[in-house]
Chains A and B, each alone.
Chain A
Amino acid sequence: MEEDVQAERGISRRTVELVVASIFLLLSVVAFYDNYTRGAGWASDGPQSGYFPARLAVIMFLGSVFTFWVALRAKTEMFVTYEQLIRISKVLIPLIIFTIGIEWLGIYLSSALFLALFMIWLGEFGVIRSCASAFAFVIVTFVIFEKWFQVPLPKGPVEALLGL
Protein backbone atom coordinates (compact mmCIF):
# COMPACT_ATOMS: atom_id res chain seq x y z
CA MET A 1 0.00 0.00 0.00
CA GLU A 2 2.70 2.44 1.02
CA GLU A 3 4.54 2.00 -2.26
CA ASP A 4 1.36 2.66 -4.18
CA VAL A 5 0.88 5.97 -2.46
CA GLN A 6 4.43 6.95 -3.28
CA ALA A 7 4.03 5.99 -6.90
CA GLU A 8 0.78 7.85 -7.46
CA ARG A 9 0.84 11.56 -8.07
CA GLY A 10 -1.46 13.92 -6.26
CA ILE A 11 -1.84 16.75 -3.79
CA SER A 12 -0.11 16.27 -0.47
CA ARG A 13 -2.06 16.44 2.74
CA ARG A 14 0.41 18.94 4.12
CA THR A 15 -0.34 21.42 1.36
CA VAL A 16 -4.07 21.19 1.96
CA GLU A 17 -3.64 21.47 5.73
CA LEU A 18 -1.59 24.60 5.27
CA VAL A 19 -4.02 26.14 2.78
CA VAL A 20 -7.05 25.39 4.97
CA ALA A 21 -5.35 26.71 8.09
CA SER A 22 -4.39 29.86 6.19
CA ILE A 23 -7.97 30.36 5.04
CA PHE A 24 -9.14 30.05 8.65
CA LEU A 25 -6.47 32.52 9.72
CA LEU A 26 -7.73 34.96 7.13
CA LEU A 27 -11.38 34.40 8.06
CA SER A 28 -10.66 34.94 11.73
CA VAL A 29 -8.86 38.19 10.98
CA VAL A 30 -11.77 39.41 8.84
CA ALA A 31 -14.29 38.39 11.50
CA PHE A 32 -12.27 40.05 14.22
CA TYR A 33 -11.96 43.27 12.22
CA ASP A 34 -15.72 43.46 11.58
CA ASN A 35 -16.67 42.77 15.17
CA TYR A 36 -14.00 44.92 16.70
CA THR A 37 -14.95 47.97 14.63
CA ARG A 38 -18.64 47.50 15.48
CA GLY A 39 -17.93 47.34 19.19
CA ALA A 40 -16.67 44.29 21.03
CA GLY A 41 -16.67 45.59 24.55
CA TRP A 42 -18.77 45.03 27.62
CA ALA A 43 -21.26 47.89 27.88
CA SER A 44 -23.12 48.81 31.04
CA ASP A 45 -26.01 46.52 30.08
CA GLY A 46 -23.93 43.55 28.98
CA PRO A 47 -21.79 42.43 26.07
CA GLN A 48 -21.99 44.36 22.80
CA SER A 49 -22.88 42.61 19.57
CA GLY A 50 -19.24 42.04 18.70
CA TYR A 51 -18.16 40.78 22.11
CA PHE A 52 -18.47 37.03 21.55
CA PRO A 53 -17.67 36.87 17.83
CA ALA A 54 -14.48 38.88 18.34
CA ARG A 55 -13.28 36.56 21.09
CA LEU A 56 -14.21 33.46 19.10
CA ALA A 57 -12.26 34.88 16.17
CA VAL A 58 -9.19 35.18 18.41
CA ILE A 59 -9.58 31.57 19.58
CA MET A 60 -9.99 30.44 15.99
CA PHE A 61 -6.89 32.38 15.03
CA LEU A 62 -4.82 30.72 17.75
CA GLY A 63 -6.21 27.26 16.93
CA SER A 64 -5.35 27.74 13.27
CA VAL A 65 -1.83 28.92 14.08
CA PHE A 66 -1.39 25.71 16.06
CA THR A 67 -2.80 23.56 13.23
CA PHE A 68 -0.54 25.36 10.78
CA TRP A 69 2.49 24.68 12.94
CA VAL A 70 1.61 21.00 13.39
CA ALA A 71 1.06 20.62 9.64
CA LEU A 72 4.43 22.21 8.88
CA ARG A 73 6.22 19.60 10.95
CA ALA A 74 4.13 16.63 9.86
CA LYS A 75 5.61 14.18 7.42
CA THR A 76 3.90 14.34 4.12
CA GLU A 77 1.02 12.06 3.19
CA MET A 78 -1.25 11.94 0.17
CA PHE A 79 -4.43 14.03 0.48
CA VAL A 80 -5.93 13.12 -2.86
CA THR A 81 -4.43 11.61 -6.00
CA TYR A 82 -5.00 13.28 -9.33
CA GLU A 83 -6.94 10.24 -10.43
CA GLN A 84 -9.30 10.65 -7.47
CA LEU A 85 -9.53 14.36 -8.12
CA ILE A 86 -10.67 13.70 -11.68
CA ARG A 87 -13.34 11.33 -10.42
CA ILE A 88 -14.58 13.92 -7.95
CA SER A 89 -14.69 16.64 -10.55
CA LYS A 90 -16.85 14.38 -12.70
CA VAL A 91 -19.63 14.95 -10.20
CA LEU A 92 -18.60 18.31 -8.79
CA ILE A 93 -18.37 20.18 -12.09
CA PRO A 94 -21.77 19.01 -13.38
CA LEU A 95 -23.17 19.87 -9.94
CA ILE A 96 -21.84 23.41 -10.17
CA ILE A 97 -23.20 23.79 -13.70
CA PHE A 98 -26.54 22.42 -12.50
CA THR A 99 -26.61 24.96 -9.68
CA ILE A 100 -25.92 27.82 -12.04
CA GLY A 101 -28.40 26.37 -14.53
CA ILE A 102 -31.23 26.58 -11.99
CA GLU A 103 -30.98 30.36 -12.13
CA TRP A 104 -31.55 30.37 -15.91
CA LEU A 105 -33.53 27.27 -16.76
CA GLY A 106 -35.48 26.72 -13.56
CA ILE A 107 -35.00 23.75 -11.32
CA TYR A 108 -37.07 21.26 -13.31
CA LEU A 109 -35.34 21.54 -16.67
CA SER A 110 -31.85 21.65 -15.21
CA SER A 111 -32.64 18.66 -12.98
CA ALA A 112 -33.80 16.67 -15.99
CA LEU A 113 -30.68 17.55 -17.95
CA PHE A 114 -28.42 16.85 -14.98
CA LEU A 115 -29.96 13.46 -14.31
CA ALA A 116 -30.09 12.36 -17.95
CA LEU A 117 -26.53 13.43 -18.77
CA PHE A 118 -25.19 11.91 -15.58
CA MET A 119 -26.81 8.59 -16.38
CA ILE A 120 -25.59 8.60 -19.98
CA TRP A 121 -22.09 9.79 -19.21
CA LEU A 122 -21.22 8.02 -15.97
CA GLY A 123 -23.76 5.25 -15.77
CA GLU A 124 -23.47 4.27 -19.44
CA PHE A 125 -27.21 3.85 -19.70
CA GLY A 126 -28.92 4.17 -23.07
CA VAL A 127 -30.01 7.63 -24.19
CA ILE A 128 -33.69 6.80 -24.35
CA ARG A 129 -33.76 5.08 -20.99
CA SER A 130 -31.88 7.95 -19.35
CA CYS A 131 -34.10 10.64 -20.84
CA ALA A 132 -37.25 8.74 -19.93
CA SER A 133 -36.13 8.30 -16.31
CA ALA A 134 -35.15 11.94 -16.06
CA PHE A 135 -38.49 13.04 -17.47
CA ALA A 136 -40.43 10.77 -15.13
CA PHE A 137 -38.46 11.95 -12.12
CA VAL A 138 -39.07 15.60 -12.93
CA ILE A 139 -42.79 15.05 -13.41
CA VAL A 140 -43.05 13.29 -10.05
CA THR A 141 -41.10 16.09 -8.37
CA PHE A 142 -43.32 18.67 -10.01
CA VAL A 143 -46.49 16.99 -8.84
CA ILE A 144 -45.21 16.56 -5.28
CA PHE A 145 -43.97 20.10 -4.81
CA GLU A 146 -46.19 22.28 -6.98
CA LYS A 147 -49.45 20.36 -6.69
CA TRP A 148 -49.49 18.50 -3.38
CA PHE A 149 -47.50 20.78 -1.15
CA GLN A 150 -47.94 23.94 -3.19
CA VAL A 151 -44.33 24.90 -2.76
CA PRO A 152 -43.26 26.95 -5.75
CA LEU A 153 -39.75 26.05 -6.91
CA PRO A 154 -37.68 28.20 -9.28
CA LYS A 155 -38.98 28.02 -12.81
CA GLY A 156 -37.56 29.06 -16.16
CA PRO A 157 -38.65 29.86 -19.71
CA VAL A 158 -40.03 26.37 -20.42
CA GLU A 159 -42.53 26.53 -17.59
CA ALA A 160 -43.47 30.06 -18.67
CA LEU A 161 -44.17 28.76 -22.19
CA LEU A 162 -46.30 25.94 -20.84
CA GLY A 163 -48.10 28.40 -18.62
CA LEU A 164 -47.34 26.54 -15.41
Chain B
Amino acid sequence: MDIRGLTLVVSACALGMCGTAFAAWEPTKPIEIIVPFAPGGASDQMARAIQGAITKNNLTKAPVVVVNKPAAAGGEAMLEIKAAKGDAHKLLTTSSGLYMTPLSSKLPVSWRDFTPVALLAQDEFLLWTYNDAPYKTAGDLLAAAKSGQNIRIGGAGSKREDNLITWALGDESAAKITYIPYAGGGPTSVQLAGKHIEASTGNPSEEVASWRAGNARPLCLLSPKRMAYKEKITDTAAWSDIPTCGEQGIKFTYNMLRGMFMPGGVSNEQRDFYVDLFKKVQETAEWKEYLARNALLPDFRSGASFVEFLTADEQRHKDLMDKAGFLAK
Protein backbone atom coordinates (compact mmCIF):
# COMPACT_ATOMS: atom_id res chain seq x y z
CA MET B 1 0.00 0.00 0.00
CA ASP B 2 2.83 2.35 0.85
CA ILE B 3 4.44 1.98 -2.54
CA ARG B 4 1.13 2.52 -4.24
CA GLY B 5 0.47 5.60 -2.16
CA LEU B 6 3.86 6.91 -3.13
CA THR B 7 3.27 6.38 -6.85
CA LEU B 8 -0.02 8.16 -6.49
CA VAL B 9 1.67 11.15 -4.94
CA VAL B 10 4.36 11.11 -7.58
CA SER B 11 1.87 10.89 -10.40
CA ALA B 12 -0.25 13.58 -8.79
CA CYS B 13 2.88 15.69 -8.78
CA ALA B 14 3.59 14.89 -12.41
CA LEU B 15 0.07 15.82 -13.37
CA GLY B 16 -0.64 18.72 -11.13
CA MET B 17 1.59 20.29 -8.59
CA CYS B 18 4.77 20.50 -10.61
CA GLY B 19 2.89 22.41 -13.25
CA THR B 20 1.80 25.00 -10.73
CA ALA B 21 5.16 26.71 -10.87
CA PHE B 22 3.97 28.21 -14.13
CA ALA B 23 0.23 28.51 -13.84
CA ALA B 24 -2.43 28.17 -11.16
CA TRP B 25 -3.53 24.60 -10.55
CA GLU B 26 -6.50 23.29 -12.46
CA PRO B 27 -8.31 19.98 -12.23
CA THR B 28 -7.27 17.46 -14.88
CA LYS B 29 -10.13 14.99 -14.51
CA PRO B 30 -13.74 15.06 -13.29
CA ILE B 31 -14.27 16.63 -9.87
CA GLU B 32 -16.18 14.31 -7.55
CA ILE B 33 -18.41 15.90 -4.96
CA ILE B 34 -19.01 13.20 -2.37
CA VAL B 35 -22.29 13.49 -0.52
CA PRO B 36 -22.37 11.53 2.73
CA PHE B 37 -26.15 11.08 2.46
CA ALA B 38 -28.65 9.49 0.07
CA PRO B 39 -29.96 11.15 -3.11
CA GLY B 40 -32.78 13.61 -2.42
CA GLY B 41 -31.62 14.83 1.00
CA ALA B 42 -30.57 18.39 1.83
CA SER B 43 -26.84 17.71 1.38
CA ASP B 44 -27.51 16.04 -1.94
CA GLN B 45 -29.60 18.97 -3.11
CA MET B 46 -26.83 21.38 -2.21
CA ALA B 47 -24.24 19.34 -4.10
CA ARG B 48 -26.47 19.19 -7.13
CA ALA B 49 -27.22 22.90 -6.95
CA ILE B 50 -23.48 23.57 -6.94
CA GLN B 51 -23.01 21.14 -9.79
CA GLY B 52 -25.72 22.95 -11.73
CA ALA B 53 -24.27 26.39 -11.00
CA ILE B 54 -20.77 25.33 -12.06
CA THR B 55 -21.89 23.54 -15.21
CA LYS B 56 -24.32 26.20 -16.36
CA ASN B 57 -21.84 29.04 -15.95
CA ASN B 58 -18.80 27.09 -17.22
CA LEU B 59 -16.83 27.84 -14.07
CA THR B 60 -14.40 24.96 -14.68
CA LYS B 61 -13.33 22.96 -17.67
CA ALA B 62 -13.45 19.68 -15.77
CA PRO B 63 -16.89 18.07 -15.39
CA VAL B 64 -18.41 17.85 -11.93
CA VAL B 65 -20.02 14.63 -10.72
CA VAL B 66 -21.97 13.98 -7.54
CA VAL B 67 -21.39 10.67 -5.75
CA ASN B 68 -23.60 9.56 -2.86
CA LYS B 69 -22.03 7.49 -0.09
CA PRO B 70 -24.73 7.29 2.54
CA ALA B 71 -23.54 4.34 4.62
CA ALA B 72 -23.15 4.68 8.40
CA ALA B 73 -24.63 8.20 8.69
CA GLY B 74 -21.88 9.60 6.48
CA GLY B 75 -19.12 7.74 8.30
CA GLU B 76 -18.08 5.86 5.22
CA ALA B 77 -17.74 8.97 3.08
CA MET B 78 -15.56 10.58 5.76
CA LEU B 79 -13.34 7.52 6.02
CA GLU B 80 -12.94 7.53 2.28
CA ILE B 81 -11.93 11.18 2.13
CA LYS B 82 -9.47 10.48 4.91
CA ALA B 83 -8.02 7.61 2.87
CA ALA B 84 -7.86 9.70 -0.33
CA LYS B 85 -4.99 11.83 0.98
CA GLY B 86 -3.56 14.08 -1.69
CA ASP B 87 -6.41 13.56 -4.18
CA ALA B 88 -7.34 17.04 -5.33
CA HIS B 89 -10.31 15.91 -7.39
CA LYS B 90 -12.50 14.92 -4.45
CA LEU B 91 -14.70 17.19 -2.39
CA LEU B 92 -16.89 16.35 0.58
CA THR B 93 -20.08 18.19 1.51
CA THR B 94 -20.54 18.42 5.25
CA SER B 95 -23.12 19.18 7.87
CA SER B 96 -22.86 18.92 11.65
CA GLY B 97 -22.48 15.19 11.09
CA LEU B 98 -18.85 16.12 10.54
CA TYR B 99 -18.39 16.17 14.30
CA MET B 100 -21.42 14.32 15.51
CA THR B 101 -20.95 11.02 13.67
CA PRO B 102 -17.36 10.45 14.89
CA LEU B 103 -18.22 11.60 18.42
CA SER B 104 -21.24 9.36 18.78
CA SER B 105 -19.78 6.27 17.11
CA LYS B 106 -16.06 6.30 17.95
CA LEU B 107 -15.25 6.56 14.27
CA PRO B 108 -11.51 7.21 13.85
CA VAL B 109 -11.90 10.37 11.78
CA SER B 110 -12.09 14.12 12.37
CA TRP B 111 -12.29 17.23 10.20
CA ARG B 112 -8.62 17.79 11.04
CA ASP B 113 -7.87 14.87 8.71
CA PHE B 114 -9.31 16.93 5.86
CA THR B 115 -8.45 20.22 4.21
CA PRO B 116 -11.18 22.78 4.99
CA VAL B 117 -12.11 24.63 1.81
CA ALA B 118 -15.07 26.86 2.56
CA LEU B 119 -18.18 27.36 4.62
CA LEU B 120 -20.91 27.90 2.05
CA ALA B 121 -23.89 28.69 4.25
CA GLN B 122 -25.55 27.84 7.52
CA ASP B 123 -28.77 25.93 7.73
CA GLU B 124 -31.59 27.01 10.01
CA PHE B 125 -33.66 24.86 12.33
CA LEU B 126 -37.22 25.55 13.36
CA LEU B 127 -39.61 24.05 15.81
CA TRP B 128 -42.72 22.93 13.92
CA THR B 129 -46.06 21.62 15.03
CA TYR B 130 -49.07 20.34 13.09
CA ASN B 131 -51.46 22.97 11.89
CA ASP B 132 -54.40 22.61 14.29
CA ALA B 133 -52.27 21.85 17.34
CA PRO B 134 -53.19 23.82 20.48
CA TYR B 135 -49.66 25.23 20.88
CA LYS B 136 -49.12 28.84 19.77
CA THR B 137 -45.51 29.21 20.94
CA ALA B 138 -42.63 27.01 21.93
CA GLY B 139 -43.50 27.92 25.53
CA ASP B 140 -46.96 26.35 25.19
CA LEU B 141 -45.41 23.14 23.94
CA LEU B 142 -42.90 22.95 26.76
CA ALA B 143 -45.54 23.84 29.35
CA ALA B 144 -47.67 20.96 28.08
CA ALA B 145 -44.70 18.64 28.45
CA LYS B 146 -44.13 19.85 32.00
CA SER B 147 -47.74 19.26 32.92
CA GLY B 148 -47.20 15.59 32.16
CA GLN B 149 -48.56 15.33 28.63
CA ASN B 150 -46.73 12.92 26.33
CA ILE B 151 -44.91 15.36 24.05
CA ARG B 152 -43.07 13.68 21.19
CA ILE B 153 -40.62 15.51 18.96
CA GLY B 154 -39.54 13.75 15.82
CA GLY B 155 -36.40 14.21 13.79
CA ALA B 156 -33.90 12.61 11.48
CA GLY B 157 -31.65 9.97 13.02
CA SER B 158 -30.42 9.37 16.50
CA LYS B 159 -27.75 11.40 18.34
CA ARG B 160 -27.74 13.88 15.52
CA GLU B 161 -28.82 17.52 15.19
CA ASP B 162 -32.56 17.04 15.74
CA ASN B 163 -31.95 14.79 18.72
CA LEU B 164 -29.56 17.32 20.23
CA ILE B 165 -32.01 20.19 19.83
CA THR B 166 -34.80 18.16 21.41
CA TRP B 167 -32.57 17.26 24.32
CA ALA B 168 -31.51 20.90 24.76
CA LEU B 169 -35.14 22.12 24.79
CA GLY B 170 -36.06 19.53 27.41
CA ASP B 171 -32.95 20.27 29.44
CA GLU B 172 -33.49 24.04 29.47
CA SER B 173 -37.12 23.83 30.49
CA ALA B 174 -36.76 20.79 32.76
CA ALA B 175 -39.56 19.07 30.82
CA LYS B 176 -39.74 15.45 29.77
CA ILE B 177 -39.83 15.26 25.98
CA THR B 178 -39.69 12.05 24.00
CA TYR B 179 -37.50 12.13 20.93
CA ILE B 180 -38.49 9.82 18.09
CA PRO B 181 -35.83 9.16 15.46
CA TYR B 182 -37.05 8.64 11.89
CA ALA B 183 -35.14 7.72 8.77
CA GLY B 184 -34.86 11.30 7.55
CA GLY B 185 -36.40 14.75 7.25
CA GLY B 186 -39.00 13.61 4.70
CA PRO B 187 -40.53 10.85 6.83
CA THR B 188 -40.47 13.16 9.86
CA SER B 189 -42.49 15.75 7.99
CA VAL B 190 -45.09 13.12 7.08
CA GLN B 191 -45.32 11.92 10.67
CA LEU B 192 -45.90 15.47 11.88
CA ALA B 193 -48.56 16.13 9.25
CA GLY B 194 -50.23 12.88 10.33
CA LYS B 195 -50.15 14.03 13.98
CA HIS B 196 -48.17 11.02 15.11
CA ILE B 197 -45.82 13.44 16.86
CA GLU B 198 -46.52 16.81 18.46
CA ALA B 199 -43.55 18.66 17.00
CA SER B 200 -40.48 18.34 14.84
CA THR B 201 -37.21 20.22 14.44
CA GLY B 202 -36.88 20.33 10.67
CA ASN B 203 -34.86 22.58 8.39
CA PRO B 204 -36.86 25.04 6.28
CA SER B 205 -36.41 22.85 3.21
CA GLU B 206 -37.79 19.79 4.99
CA GLU B 207 -41.04 21.37 6.11
CA VAL B 208 -41.75 24.12 3.61
CA ALA B 209 -44.04 21.98 1.47
CA SER B 210 -45.99 20.88 4.52
CA TRP B 211 -46.24 24.48 5.75
CA ARG B 212 -47.58 25.75 2.44
CA ALA B 213 -50.01 22.85 2.29
CA GLY B 214 -51.42 23.74 5.70
CA ASN B 215 -50.25 20.53 7.31
CA ALA B 216 -47.69 22.09 9.64
CA ARG B 217 -46.77 25.50 10.99
CA PRO B 218 -43.60 26.92 12.55
CA LEU B 219 -43.52 27.79 16.26
CA CYS B 220 -40.13 29.45 16.35
CA LEU B 221 -36.70 29.70 14.77
CA LEU B 222 -33.72 28.27 16.66
CA SER B 223 -31.36 30.95 15.41
CA PRO B 224 -30.17 34.08 17.23
CA LYS B 225 -31.70 36.28 14.53
CA ARG B 226 -34.81 36.16 12.35
CA MET B 227 -34.41 35.09 8.74
CA ALA B 228 -34.01 37.73 6.05
CA TYR B 229 -36.31 36.24 3.40
CA LYS B 230 -39.32 38.55 3.12
CA GLU B 231 -41.11 36.89 0.23
CA LYS B 232 -44.46 35.37 1.20
CA ILE B 233 -44.30 31.60 1.47
CA THR B 234 -47.88 31.02 2.51
CA ASP B 235 -50.76 33.41 1.94
CA THR B 236 -50.00 35.30 5.10
CA ALA B 237 -46.44 34.66 6.21
CA ALA B 238 -42.85 34.92 5.03
CA TRP B 239 -39.79 33.29 6.57
CA SER B 240 -38.94 36.65 8.15
CA ASP B 241 -42.25 36.65 10.06
CA ILE B 242 -41.30 33.63 12.15
CA PRO B 243 -40.22 34.71 15.64
CA THR B 244 -36.99 33.37 17.06
CA CYS B 245 -37.20 31.00 20.00
CA GLY B 246 -35.28 33.64 21.90
CA GLU B 247 -38.28 35.96 21.55
CA GLN B 248 -40.33 33.20 23.17
CA GLY B 249 -37.96 32.92 26.10
CA ILE B 250 -35.75 30.04 25.01
CA LYS B 251 -32.01 30.60 25.27
CA PHE B 252 -30.82 27.65 23.18
CA THR B 253 -29.88 28.42 19.57
CA TYR B 254 -28.64 26.14 16.84
CA ASN B 255 -27.39 26.52 13.29
CA MET B 256 -25.74 23.94 11.11
CA LEU B 257 -22.77 24.44 8.87
CA ARG B 258 -22.92 23.52 5.22
CA GLY B 259 -19.35 23.39 4.06
CA MET B 260 -16.90 21.84 1.64
CA PHE B 261 -13.76 19.88 2.44
CA MET B 262 -10.95 18.28 0.46
CA PRO B 263 -8.84 15.31 1.49
CA GLY B 264 -5.75 16.07 3.56
CA GLY B 265 -2.33 16.50 2.00
CA VAL B 266 -3.32 18.69 -0.93
CA SER B 267 -1.31 21.75 -1.90
CA ASN B 268 -2.34 25.31 -1.15
CA GLU B 269 -2.72 26.03 -4.86
CA GLN B 270 -5.17 23.19 -5.19
CA ARG B 271 -7.18 24.40 -2.22
CA ASP B 272 -7.15 27.97 -3.47
CA PHE B 273 -8.53 26.82 -6.79
CA TYR B 274 -11.63 25.50 -5.04
CA VAL B 275 -11.93 28.49 -2.69
CA ASP B 276 -11.93 30.65 -5.77
CA LEU B 277 -14.40 28.34 -7.51
CA PHE B 278 -16.87 28.52 -4.62
CA LYS B 279 -16.50 32.29 -4.46
CA LYS B 280 -17.61 32.34 -8.08
CA VAL B 281 -20.43 29.93 -7.28
CA GLN B 282 -21.64 32.35 -4.59
CA GLU B 283 -22.13 35.00 -7.24
CA THR B 284 -24.27 32.91 -9.56
CA ALA B 285 -28.01 33.40 -9.83
CA GLU B 286 -28.50 29.63 -9.39
CA TRP B 287 -26.82 29.66 -6.00
CA LYS B 288 -28.76 32.68 -4.78
CA GLU B 289 -31.94 30.98 -5.87
CA TYR B 290 -30.92 27.84 -4.05
CA LEU B 291 -30.26 29.80 -0.83
CA ALA B 292 -33.63 31.52 -1.00
CA ARG B 293 -35.53 28.36 -1.82
CA ASN B 294 -34.12 26.53 1.17
CA ALA B 295 -34.03 29.66 3.38
CA LEU B 296 -30.35 29.17 4.19
CA LEU B 297 -28.35 31.76 6.08
CA PRO B 298 -25.68 33.09 3.68
CA ASP B 299 -22.32 32.86 5.40
CA PHE B 300 -19.20 32.38 3.27
CA ARG B 301 -15.93 31.74 5.07
CA SER B 302 -12.62 30.29 3.98
CA GLY B 303 -9.07 30.05 5.27
CA ALA B 304 -8.34 30.93 8.90
CA SER B 305 -11.83 32.23 9.66
CA PHE B 306 -13.34 28.90 8.56
CA VAL B 307 -10.89 26.95 10.72
CA GLU B 308 -11.71 29.17 13.69
CA PHE B 309 -15.39 28.58 13.12
CA LEU B 310 -14.88 24.82 12.92
CA THR B 311 -12.80 24.70 16.10
CA ALA B 312 -15.40 26.59 18.10
CA ASP B 313 -18.33 24.71 16.58
CA GLU B 314 -16.75 21.34 17.26
CA GLN B 315 -16.07 22.25 20.89
CA ARG B 316 -19.67 23.35 21.34
CA HIS B 317 -20.97 20.07 19.93
CA LYS B 318 -18.61 18.10 22.11
CA ASP B 319 -19.80 19.87 25.27
CA LEU B 320 -23.47 19.57 24.37
CA MET B 321 -23.20 15.93 23.37
CA ASP B 322 -21.30 15.17 26.54
CA LYS B 323 -24.08 16.68 28.66
CA ALA B 324 -26.75 14.92 26.60
CA GLY B 325 -24.96 11.60 26.98
CA PHE B 326 -24.50 11.15 23.23
CA LEU B 327 -20.75 10.50 23.33
CA ALA B 328 -19.61 6.98 22.57
CA LYS B 329 -18.53 5.12 25.65
Binding site for B on A (CB under 8 A): 45, 104, 146, 150-152, 157, 160, 163-164
Contact = CB atoms under 8 A, between A and B. Distances in A.
B15 interface: yes
Given A45-B178, A104-B4, A150 B30 contact: yes
Interface string B131-146: 0000000000000000
B28 A152 contact: no
A13 B7 CA distance: 49
Given A104-B4, A150-B63, A152-B67, A163 B30 contact: no
B65 A163 contact: no
Given A152-B30, A152-B65, A160-B11, 17 more contacts: A45-B178, A104-B4, A146-B30, A150-B30, A150-B63, A150-B65, A151-B65, A151-B67, A152-B32, A152-B67, A157-B7, A157-B11, A160-B15, A163-B15, A163-B28, A163-B29, A164-B29
A150 B28 CA distance: 16
A45 B178 CA distance: 9
Most buried by A among B29, B32, B178: B29
A27 B48 CA distance: 42
Contacts of B65: 150-152
Nearest to B90: A152
Which 9 pairs show the lowest CB-CB distances between chains A and B? A150-B65, A160-B11, A152-B32, A152-B65, A163-B28, A152-B67, A152-B30, A164-B29, A163-B29
Contacts of B4: 104
A113 to B, nearest CB: 18
A157 to B, nearest CB: 7
A62 to B, nearest CB: 31
Contacts of B11: 157, 160
A149 B28 CA distance: 19
Interface string B46-84: 000000000000000001010100000000000000000
Nearest to A103: B4
Nearest to B178: A45
Interface string B28-53: 11101000000000000000000000
Nearest to A161: B11
Contacts of A45: 178
10 contacts: A104-B4, A146-B30, A150-B30, A150-B65, A151-B67, A152-B67, A157-B7, A160-B11, A163-B28, A163-B29
Contacts of B67: 151-152
A157 B3 CA distance: 13
Nearest to A150: B65
Contacts of B30: 146, 150, 152
A160 B4 CA distance: 13
B19 to A, nearest CB: 13
Contacts of A104: 4
Nearest to A49: B158
Contacts of A157: 7, 11
A14 B243 CA distance: 72
A81 B32 CA distance: 49
A163 B30 CA distance: 10
Nearest to B65: A150
Nearest to B158: A49
B108 to A, nearest CB: 19
A164 to B, nearest CB: 7
Contacts of A163: 15, 28-29
A132 B28 CA distance: 29
Contacts of B32: 152
A90 B283 CA distance: 59
Interface string B267-304: 00000000000000000000000000000000000000
Contacts of B28: 163
A68 to B, nearest CB: 34
